[in-house]
């Protein structure tokens, strides 16, 4: 007697795009948005100053330290951390609402933030973005020319340490220079494959 196969609808995924500074996380997420991928892209709250060409509410929510402190006290953040002297955090309500609507949720986090999300939501999908080697990473950070000498040294030292945390992730992608679309295609392929798993990830927050 044969069993009838019933097609199940996969659960929405909580996807973390992470990796050291300078590997291209922002560019990857921006290209995914530009191409109209059907995900909810989480906007991170931060206390750092807005950079040229950044848009409040789109690139980040730029908030005061007093407002960020209130968000911590009211348990409004999934995770938060001090990153290079400024706070960053993920608003809980934004993620819960998106998951409840059935949408996959994509968030861009540093390595420390990704590991915090893993503890809170073990079924989250963690993708580590890197470049070809440490020398290439240092070159990219220097070429950005957005840091003071001291800040740049801190970012380089932190990035080198973060490269050793790759074992905490599910997938790794090398984001080669001038191959952004190829990297974005690999991210999308991973997400598509995850929706085809027999045993779906089920995220609860």
Model pLDDT, residue 142: 76
pLDDT over 80 at 200, yes or no: yes
Range with lowest mean pLDDT among 5-9, 66-70, 143-147, 165-169: 5-9
What is residue 1's predicted lDDT score, i.e. its pLDDT?
47
Q: Which residues are marked as active site?
A: 51, 144, 155
CATH class of the 14-194 domain in this structure: alpha beta
* Three-class secondary structure of residue 86 per DSSP: strand
Angle at 151 between CA 83 and CA 112, to 5 degrees: 25
Mean predicted lDDT score pLDDT of the chain: 88
For residue 105, what pLDDT is reported?
96
pLDDT in tens, 70-127: 999 999 999 898 877 899 999 999 999 999 999 999 999 989 889 999 999 999 999 9
Mean pLDDT, rounded, for 37-61 = 91
* Average pLDDT, integer, range 157-168: 85
């Amino acid at each position: 007697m044969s069993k009838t196969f019933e097609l199940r609808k996969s659960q929405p995924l909580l996807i973390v795009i992470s990796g050291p500074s300078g590997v291209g996380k922002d560019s990857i997420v921006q290209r995914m948005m530009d191409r109209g991928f059907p995900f909810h892209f989480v906007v991170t709250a931060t206390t750092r100053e807005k950079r040229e060409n950044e848009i409040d509410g789109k690139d980040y929510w730029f908030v005061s330290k007093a407002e960020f402190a209130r968000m911590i006290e009211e348990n409004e953040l999934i995770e938060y951390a001090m990153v290079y002297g400024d706070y960053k955090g993920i608003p809980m309500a934004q993620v819960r609402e998106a998951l409840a609507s059935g949408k996959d949720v994509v968030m861009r986090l540093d390595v420390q933030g990704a590991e915090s999300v893993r503890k809170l939501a073990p079924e989250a999908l963690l993708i580590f973005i890197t470049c070809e080697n440490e020398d290439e990473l240092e070159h990219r950070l220097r070429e950005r020319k957005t840091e003071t000498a001291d800040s740049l040294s801190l970012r380089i030292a932190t990035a080198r340490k973060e490269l050793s945390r790759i074992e905490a992730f599910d997938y790794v992608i090398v984001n080669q220079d001038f191959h952004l679309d190829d990297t974005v295609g690999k991210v999308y392929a991973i997400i598509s494959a995850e929706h085809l798993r027999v045993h779906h990830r089920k995220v609860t927050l």
